[in-house]
């Protein structure tokens, strides 16, 4: 006899991967009741993502978990493309920190996933249900009903206001909703091998464009080395995974395979696909359920984290009745084009590593040899300027006619000085709120009392930025309900110096929502409230 348990939640999340765990942490921090449903018994521990970027770390910072994640990373992880003879023809190691963290970092995903899982234990209204299989779901105008089966064949029914499907590339939710998932599957597979006590112990990640069998060699935190080898036609995972064949693969890249400690191995297929739509009423797709891409730029994980940050604050506002459900339409409007751009970049990088035709490899090596000596192009590669940065051209923002406008781009995150004398990263001042930041003036000056109240209802920090040396000025004007911070270097001053406005409105995901001067701030706020579908 089976038992049936019924319960309700505000947001149900299908899948306890990094995207689902991140959204759950963010919503929980905002006081939302969350239930995660995961079909596996525990978190996945096999080889997965190894590259985490500055945007993802900034997202984790918003969850209050960054200090627990950073010890599991190797900052400033360079990516080097090698010719078959071992010559480096592209060295990608951006050293800038626009968003508060190094742009490229190595990490071991299961360790960071576990930090995200542990982070949920502090929220009494959040539960994570492992060993649950989604058997059926349906939605109506008021919510989503999920029918779940446990390992013991017991039935559970969960009623949620919204369902966020983070259930991977083979998403049952996406397939059941008959959402198209267009794209291509790479003709070749790759085997990933993780080794303990790194026998090479050389830093960074190397992508060797060997025409016989291309491979990747990556140094990871905690003394782990990852190798990835292209699987040749006729080879199977079962055959390749045999110890003697793993040793044969590794003998190509190691001086000796004696005493090698293989942690795990797994064969991957590289797909490049994107869902036709990311939202169907009260159901939303995120991460691999919405788009999957080859691993070569480490953007599958990071694109999913961008989804999480973009979506979580919007869902929170809607569930709290601070915005209408129409705000959720901006999720696809803002994220789909950039996800497609990252897929294209990843496919291109894969063609550089393993060209579809042999003659293309010779052309690549010849061109790369010449370009490496042209300083502007070398700098372009070094600083990773080829990576498409997210810029939203429509959605929850107030656009201007200026094509160079920072509206729709992520705001910088320098260190700033507090009135107490403490130095912190900017986001620590903002928290999970909107921010209205003004250079040298009262950020509330142009706002009506009505709009100040509207901003406070949404959750806002009013911030005045001045040069840090002025913080100790006894005669400076103090503004009520305004946080004054000091620009330690020239980062914020330089940012404002490139615009003709002195006030910037930031969304909770740190993207610039609008620009204004004090005299136009009230009007711009009204325009943004409309775009946010604020109640």
Chain centre distance of CA 460: 23
Taking residues 431-448, what's their average pLDDT? 96
- Sorted by sequence, the CB contacts under 8 Å of residue 217 that are 6+ apart come out as 200, 205, 206, 208, 225, 226, 227, 253
Length of the chain: 535
Taking residues 206-223, what's their average pLDDT? 87
Task: Please measure the distance between the N-terminal and C-terminal CA atoms of the chain and give it in whole angstroms.
Answer: 48
pLDDT computed for residue 351 by the predictor: 53
What are the structure tokens assigned to 383, written together? 């600083």
What are the structure tokens assigned to 372, written together? 């490496």
Q: How confident is the model at residue 114 (pLDDT cuts 50, 70, 90)?
A: very high
pLDDT computed for residue 383 by the predictor: 47
The pTM score is: 0.91
Taking residues 3-31, what's their average pLDDT? 95
pLDDT computed for residue 271 by the predictor: 83
Residues 315-367: tens digit of each pLDDT = 999 999 999 999 999 999 999 988 888 777 766 665 555 555 554 555 545 55
Among 52-66, 184-198, 302-316, 471-485, where is mean pLDDT lowest? 184-198
Taking residues 122-134, what's their average pLDDT? 97
- Three-state DSSP state, 208: strand
pLDDT computed for residue 376 by the predictor: 55
Angstrom distance (rounded) from CA 461 to CA 443: 10
Residues 330-339: tens digit of each pLDDT = 999 999 988 8
Question: For the chain, which domains are there?
Answer: 4-66+109-182+273-328 (3.50.50.60), 415-532 (3.40.30.10)
Q: How confident is the model at residue 240 (pLDDT cuts 50, 70, 90)?
A: confident
Residue 196 has pLDDT above 70, yes or no: yes
Q: How confident is the model at residue 368 (pLDDT cuts 50, 70, 90)?
A: low
Residues 385-421: tens digit of each pLDDT = 545 567 899 999 999 888 889 999 999 999 999 999 9
Strands 34-37 and 126-129: parallel
pLDDT computed for residue 47 by the predictor: 66
Strands 460-467 and 434-439: parallel
pLDDT computed for residue 348 by the predictor: 67
Hunting for tokens 């078959």 — which residue is that? 84
Comparing C-alpha atoms, which of 488, 467, 464 is closest to residue 477?
464
What are the structure tokens assigned to 535, written together? 């109640």
DSSP annotation of 342: H
pLDDT computed for residue 151 by the predictor: 92
Angstrom distance (rounded) from CA 373 to CA 381: 12
pLDDT computed for residue 359 by the predictor: 45
Taking residues 52-76, what's their average pLDDT? 96
Q: How confident is the model at residue 86 (pLDDT cuts 50, 70, 90)?
A: confident
Residue 1 has pLDDT above 50, yes or no: no
Among 43-47, 461-465, 518-522, where is mean pLDDT lowest? 43-47
Residues 490-507: tens digit of each pLDDT = 999 999 999 999 999 999
pLDDT computed for residue 437 by the predictor: 98
Q: How confident is the model at residue 455 (pLDDT cuts 50, 70, 90)?
A: very high
Residue 95 has pLDDT above 80, yes or no: no
Angstrom distance (rounded) from CA 432 to CA 443: 18
pLDDT computed for residue 209 by the predictor: 78
What are the structure tokens assigned to 97, written together? 């920190």
What is the phi-psi region of residue 384: left when phi exceeds 0, alpha when psi lies from -120 to 50, beta otherwise? left
Mean predicted lDDT score pLDDT of the chain: 89
Q: How confident is the model at residue 374 (pLDDT cuts 50, 70, 90)?
A: low
Q: How confident is the model at residue 477 (pLDDT cuts 50, 70, 90)?
A: confident
Among 127-141, 205-219, 268-282, where is mean pLDDT lowest? 205-219
Residue 190 has pLDDT above 50, yes or no: yes
Strands 144-150 and 423-425: unpaired
Percent of the chain residues past pLDDT 90, beyond the cut? 65
Percent of the chain residues past pLDDT 70, beyond the cut? 90
């Amino acid at each position: 006899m089976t038992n049936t348990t019924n319960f309700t939640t505000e947001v149900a999340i299908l899948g306890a991967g990094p995207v689902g765990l991140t959204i759950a942490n963010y919503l929980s921090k905002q006081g939302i009741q969350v239930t995660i449903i995961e079909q596996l018994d525990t978190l996945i521990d096999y080889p997965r993502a190894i590259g985490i970027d500055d945007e993802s770390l900034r997202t984790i910072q918003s969850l209050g978990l960054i200090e627990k994640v950073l010890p599991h990373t190797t900052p400033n992880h360079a990516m080097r493309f090698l010719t078959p003879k071992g010559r480096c023809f592209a060295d990608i190691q951006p050293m800038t920190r626009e968003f508060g963290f190094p742009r490229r970092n190595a990490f071991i995903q299961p360790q960071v996933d576990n930090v995200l899982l542990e982070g949920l234990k502090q929220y009494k209204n959040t539960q994570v249900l492992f060993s649950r299989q989604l058997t059926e779901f349906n939605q109506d105008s008021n919510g989503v009903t999920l029918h779940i089966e446990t390992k013991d064949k017991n039935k559970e029914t969960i009623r949620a206001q919204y369902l966020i499907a983070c259930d991977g590339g083979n998403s049952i939710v996406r397939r059941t909703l008959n959402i198209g998932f267009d794209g291509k599957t790479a003709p070749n597979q790759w085997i990933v091998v993780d080794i303990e006590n790194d026998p090479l112990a050389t830093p960074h990640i190397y992508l060797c464009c060997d025409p016989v069998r291309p491979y990747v060699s990556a140094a990871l935190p905690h003394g782990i080395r990852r190798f990835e080898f292209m699987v040749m036609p006729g080879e199977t995972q079962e055959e390749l995974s045999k110890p003697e064949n793993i040793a044969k693969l590794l003998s190509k890249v190691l001086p000796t395979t004696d005493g090698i400690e293989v942690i795990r191995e797994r064969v991957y297929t590289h797909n490049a696909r994107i869902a036709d739509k990311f939202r169907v009423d009260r159901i939303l797709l995120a991460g691999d359920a919405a788009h999957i891409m080859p691993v070569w730029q480490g953007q599958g994980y990071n694109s999913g984290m961008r989804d999480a940050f973009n979506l979580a604050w919007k869902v929170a506002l809607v569930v709290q009745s601070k915005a209408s459900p129409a705000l959720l339409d901006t999720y696809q409007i803002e994220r789909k084009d950039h996800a497609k751009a990252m897929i294209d970049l990843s496919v291109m990088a894969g063609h550089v590593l393993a060209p579809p035709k042999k003659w293309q490899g010779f052309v690549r090596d010849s061109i790369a040899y010449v370009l490496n000596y042209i300083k502007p192009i070398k700098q372009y590669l070094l600083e990773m300027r080829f990576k498409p940065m997210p810029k939203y051209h429509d959605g929850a923002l107030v656009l201007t006619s200026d094509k160079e406008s920072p509206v729709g781009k992520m705001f910088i995150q320098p260190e700033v000085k507090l009135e107490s004398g403490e130095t912190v990263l900017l986001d620590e001042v903002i928290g999970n709120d909107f921010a209205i930041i003004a250079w040298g003036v009262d950020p509330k000056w142009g706002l009506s009392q009505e709009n100040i109240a509207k901003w406070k209802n949404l959750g806002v920090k009013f911030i005045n930025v001045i040069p840090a040396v002025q913080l100790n000025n006894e005669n400076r004007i103090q503004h009520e309900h305004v946080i004054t911070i000091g620009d330690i270097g020239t980062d914020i001053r330089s940012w404002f110096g490139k615009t003709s406005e002195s006030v910037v409105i930031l969304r909770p995901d740190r993207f610039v929502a609008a620009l204004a001067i004090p005299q136009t701030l009230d009007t711009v706020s009204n325009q943004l409230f409309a775009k946010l579908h604020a109640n």
